[in-house]
Amino acid sequence: MAKITFIGLGNMGAPMASNLLKAGHDVTVFDLSQPAVEALVAEGASTADSGKAAAEGAECIITMLPAGKHVEAVYLGEDGLLSALPEGTLVIDSSTIAPETARAVAEAAAARNLAFIDAPVSGGVGGAKAGTLTFICGGEEGTFNRAKPILEGMGKNIFHAGPHGAGQVAKICNNMMLAILMAGTSEALALGAKNGLDPAVLSEIMKQSSGGNWALNVYNPWPGVMEGVPASRDYQGGFLVNLMTKDLGLAFDNAVKNQASIPMGSLARNLFQLHAGQGNGELDFSSILRLYKAD
């Protein structure tokens, strides 16, 4: 069992750290939110006054932070973690950030003989709680093999997508498709409801038909159709609209840099940005349904 420091205990990070404890690892946690830290300490984690202090003596660091600027703040610069860690420490960033940022952190880590991989995840809060996340890793094979047994404590499918940044590229592609599917699912359910169909019945029909997809199967956006999903608790918790908007921005920037055409992704970005601008940024992303359905 490893001595692990986990930084970033939000909707995803808290259940992930909790699963590492259950797997028998020695886990030290840090977050800017004191209640988030206290919840993990109550489960058996240790803590410290800062990320740097929490990282002392760790064999492995895992971060699960909102965006690239938080990852840069935690790792880079004179006061960043990379300058304090002993050589050989395994560093895993599971946040969804730009591939370029992941590569910059990887380069800074390599300069200090630290083993870094980007390992963003898919599977949502449900997957984080159940320990069934998909990890999509980018980095050297040896580092991936070192990280795999630790990631298996939090996930079911552990992929090596390619070199540094490749995990983030795959994750950005996945989330762009997810945004398109969630908006399309909402649109179809709202059209059916306008025609008097029961959204629960329509959902079952589409699940068994060619329109079936992840949003319908495990994350239905229509309130009351599925138990335990954000739509059935007023879109609280889950994956925030602000984070989906960030990911669609990453896809858009990446497409511009690579001269790729992403018409559906661009439309999805605009829909989620519009929704965020209407004061819904802190709701789960399945609340995009509200653009189509008047309450």
Core vs surface per residue 214-245: b (16+ CB within 10 A) or e: bbbeebbbbbebbeebbbbeebeebbbbbbbb
The residue whose two tokens read 């006061």 is 79
9 lines the binding site for ligand NAD (CB under 6 A): yes
Torsion, CA 29, CA 64, CA 81, CA 60, rounded to 10: 70
Pick the closer one to ligand NAD by CB: 124 or 199: 124
- Residue selected from 58, 60, 74, 150 as contacting ligand NAD according to rule CB under 6 A: 74
30 lines the binding site for ligand NAD (CB under 6 A): yes
Q: Give the residue numbers marked as catalytic.
A: 171
Angle, vertex CA 247, rays to CA 242 and CA 249, nearest 5: 95
**Is residue 112 a contact partner of residue 86, using CB atoms and an 8 Å limit?**
no
- Residue selected from 70, 112, 148, 156 as contacting ligand NAD according to rule CB under 6 A: 70
10 lines the binding site for ligand NAD (CB under 6 A): yes
Closest CA to 176 of 105, 271, 102, 78: 271
Closest CA to 92 of 114, 77, 123: 114
Pick the closer one to ligand NAD by CB: 70 or 197: 70
- Residue selected from 33, 145, 236, 270 as contacting ligand NAD according to rule CB under 6 A: 33
What is the phi/psi pair of residue 183, to 5°?
-65, -45
22 lines the binding site for ligand NAD (CB under 6 A): no
147 lines the binding site for ligand NAD (CB under 6 A): no
8 lines the binding site for ligand NAD (CB under 6 A): yes
**Is residue 125 a contact partner of residue 239, using CB atoms and an 8 Å limit?**
yes
By CB under 6 A, the residues from 124 to 143 that bind ligand NAD are 124-125
- Tell me how far, at minimum, the Cβ of 253 lies from ligand NAD, in Å: 15
Pick the closer one to ligand NAD by CB: 85 or 125: 125
> What is the rounded CA–CA span in Å between residue 183 and residue 197?
19
User: Among 3-11, 54-62, 108-116, 187-195, which window interacts with ligand NAD (CB under 6 A)?
Assistant: 3-11
54 lines the binding site for ligand NAD (CB under 6 A): no
Q: Mark 225-244 with x for binding to ligand NAD (rule: CB under 6 A) and - for no binding.
A: -------------xx---x-
> What is the rounded CA–CA span in Å between residue 138 and residue 196?
47
- Residue selected from 4, 5, 6, 11 as contacting ligand NAD according to rule CB under 6 A: 11
Closest CA to 211 of 190, 244, 239, 189: 189
- Residue selected from 20, 61, 62, 64 as contacting ligand NAD according to rule CB under 6 A: 64
Residue ranges in contact with ligand NAD by CB under 6 A: 7-13, 30-33, 36, 51, 64-66, 70, 73-74, 95-96, 121-122, 124-125, 238-239, 243, 247
